[in-house]
C-alpha cells in the first residue's frame, strides 16, 4: 500500500505541474453573448438519476426515500432533490423528464430536456450489469435525436449536458478483488472512456457540457463507518485526486480542440470538502454538526436504508430532520447536502452559460 501511495503521489506532482502550464480561462469571450441553456440532457448514475431505474431494482423507489420531496419515493437516491434538480433550477427550467418516462410526458415537458442517467451504472459495466452504462445511455440519446420528433439541431445549440460519474466503476473494481497496483491504470481507462463519451455527446450537437469531478469517495459514510463517521479515508481520496487530475487533463485537451470552449468541470471534490469542513456559517451553505454521519442507516451492518423484514418491520433508523445531515444514506447526500454543494458551485456554474 505504501508503494501505491508513492506511485500516486508521483502522478499527482507531475500532472499538477503539467496543468499549471496548460490551464487557462476558457470561459470568458468578450464578443460572446451569454445566455442560460434552456434544456438539459443528463447522463450518469445515482447522483443524477431522477427515476429511470425500475422500481423493482432500487431502494430509491422505497420509503423513506423521497420523504422531503416530493413526500414519497420518486426514484431519486436521496430524501429529496438531487444534483440534476439543482442544476435545472440554476438554469431556470424544470428538471428534465427521465428517459423511461418520456412516453408519458407531454410535449411541453420534453422541451426541458431528458435524463438518461441510471443509478448504479458507470462508464463500463458495473455490479449492476443489466442497467445501461454511459455508452448505452448515449445510444438512447442518439436514437431520440434520430427520430426527429422532439429535438431539432437548433435545440441542441442552446442545450447543456450534465455528465456524472460518482465512482461505480471503482466500486466494481474493488468487488472484483483486483490487485490494488492495477488501480491507477484502471483509473486512466475510466477517464479515457469518459473522454470518448464527451466527444460523442459534443459530436451529436450539444454545445456545452458540464462534467462532475469525482467526489471524495473516502468521505462517504460507507468508508467512514470504521471511524464512527469522524475521519475520511485518505488512501481512497488519493485515488480520487488522480482521477480528477486526469479528468482535468482530458477536459483541457478537449477545450483546446473545440474553441470556444465547450467543456466545464463542476468541481464536486472541492465543493464536498468545503461543505464537510464548514465550521462557520457561509452564505447558502449549511453547517452540519456531524457531516460524515448519514441520516438513514441500517440497524445492523447487513441492513441498509429502506430495508424491512418479512413482517414489514423497519430494519433502519432515520434522523429526526434530514436537513441536519449532509449525507442521506451511506453513499448519497441529502437534499440539503446537494443544495449546499450547489451553493458552493455557484461561481463554477457561471461557466455553463453559453
Q: Which of 45, 46, 169, 202 is catalytic?
A: 46
CB atoms near residue 203 (< 10 Å): 9
Distance between CA 347 and CA 43 in Å, rounded?
23
- DSSP E strands in the chain: the ranges are 39-43, 97-98, 113-115, 159-163, 208-212, 263-266, 296-298, 316-318
Q: Which helix (H) or strand (E) segment is 4 a member of?
A: helix 2-22
Question: Rounded to an integer, what is the distance from CA 228 to the centroid of its chain?
Answer: 25
- DSSP E strands in 154-241: the ranges are 159-163, 208-212
For residue 332, indicate whether it is catalytic. yes
Q: Are 200 and 220 in contact (CB under 8 A)?
A: no
Q: Which of 49, 169, 236, 329 is catalytic?
A: 329
Q: What angle do CA 253, 254, 260 make, to 5 degrees?
A: 115
Distance between CA 218 and CA 305 in Å, rounded?
20
For residue 301, indicate whether it is catalytic. no
Question: Rounded to an integer, what is the distance from CA 40 to the centroid of its chain?
Answer: 15
Question: Rounded to an integer, what is the distance from CA 255 to the centroid of its chain?
Answer: 21
For residue 46, indicate whether it is catalytic. yes
Catalytic residues: 46, 329, 332
Amino acid at each position: 500500500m505504501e508503494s501505491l501511495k508513492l506511485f500516486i503521489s508521483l502522478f499527482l506532482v507531475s500532472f499538477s505541474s503539467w496543468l499549471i502550464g496548460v490551464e487557462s480561462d476558457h470561459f470568458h469571450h468578450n464578443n460572446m453573448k451569454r445566455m442560460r441553456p434552456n434544456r438539459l440532457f443528463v447522463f450518469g448514475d445515482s447522483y443524477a438519476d431522477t427515476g429511470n431505474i425500475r422500481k423493482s431494482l432500487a431502494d430509491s423507489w422505497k420509503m423513506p426515500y423521497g420523504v422531503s420531496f416530493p413526500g414519497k419515493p420518486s426514484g431519486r437516491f436521496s430524501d429529496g432533490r438531487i444534483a440534476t434538480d439543482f442544476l435545472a433550477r440554476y438554469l431556470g427550467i424544470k428538471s428534465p423528464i427521465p428517459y423511461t418516462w418520456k412516453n408519458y410526458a407531454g410535449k411541453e415537458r420534453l422541451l426541458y430536456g431528458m435524463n438518461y442517467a441510471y443509478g448504479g451504472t458507470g462508464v463500463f459495466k458495473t455490479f449492476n450489469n443489466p442497467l445501461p452504462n454511459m455508452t448505452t445511455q448515449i445510444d438512447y440519446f442518439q436514437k431520440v435525436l434520430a427520430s426527429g420528433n422532439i429535438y431539432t439541431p437548433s435545440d441542441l445549440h442552446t442545450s447543456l449536458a450534465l455528465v456524472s460519474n460518482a465512482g461505480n466503476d471503482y466500486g466494481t473494481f474493488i468487488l472484483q478483488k483486483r490487485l490494488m497496483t492495477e488501480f491507477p491504470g484502471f483509473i486512466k481507462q475510466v477517464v479515457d472512456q469518459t473522454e470518448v463519451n464527451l466527444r460523442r455527446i459534443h459530436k451529436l450537437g450539444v454545445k456545452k457540457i458540464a462534467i462532475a469531478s469525482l467526489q471524495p469517495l473516502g468521505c462517504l459514510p460507507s468508508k467512514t463507518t470504521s471511524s464512527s463517521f469522524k475521519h475520511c479515508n485518505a488512501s481512497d481520496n488519493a485515488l480520487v485526486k488522480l482521477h480528477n487530475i486526469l479528468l482535468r487533463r482530458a477536459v483541457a485537451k478537449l477545450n483546446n480542440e473545440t474553441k470556444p470552449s465547450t467543456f466545464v468541470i463542476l468541481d464536486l471534490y472541492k465543493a464536498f470538502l468545503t461543505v464537510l469542513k464548514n465550521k462557520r456559517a457561509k452564505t447558502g451553505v449549511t453547517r452540519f454538526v456531524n457531516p460524515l454521519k448519514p441520516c438513514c442507516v441500517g440497524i445492523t451492518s447487513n441492513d441498509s436504508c429502506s430495508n424491512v423484514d418479512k413482517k414489514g418491520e423497519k430494519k433502519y433508523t432515520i434522523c429526526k430532520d434530514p436537513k441536519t445531515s449532509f449525507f442521506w444514506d451511506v453513499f448519497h447526500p441529502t437534499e440539503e447536502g446537494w443544495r449546499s454543494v450547489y451553493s458552493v458551485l455557484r461561481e463554477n456554474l457561471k461557466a455553463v452559460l453559453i
